[in-house]
Amino acid sequence: MSEQGQKFDKNKPRMSLLPKGALNAVIRVLEFGATKYQENNWKHVPDAKVRYYDAMQRHIDAWWHGEQKDPETGEHHLAHAICCGMFLWWFDEEALRDAND
């Protein structure tokens, strides 16, 4: 076959740039939370932005002081921090959507 195929993916997200190990760790943190609480429970926590900001900072602080793994989950503290950061991003995006409705 001499013809070269085409794939129109310009301006689409380059998922290959995402570190898969980190993504998998974040998914495991989310799965732990879904089992411990309930799936998507984090969306309904009172004062969620403040509480997830605090949790993110605690995980970063624990990592900064040399503790790599969260004692409850066994997952990397930064995976927890990334997860909290994603929650904060989601809350901001929801607020923007609500403001534009």
CA 51 to CA 32: how far, in whole Å?
18
CA 29 – CA 31 distance, rounded (Å): 5
pLDDT, one tens digit per residue, over 16-47 is: 999 999 999 999 999 999 999 999 999 999 99
Q: Write the CA distances from 17 to 10, 14, 35, integer angstroms.
A: 15, 6, 29
Predicted TM-score (pTM) of this structure: 0.86
Alpha-carbon distance 82 to 11, whole Å? 25
Split at pLDDT 50, 70, 90, the class of 99 is: confident
Q: Mean pLDDT over residues 80-92, rounded?
A: 98
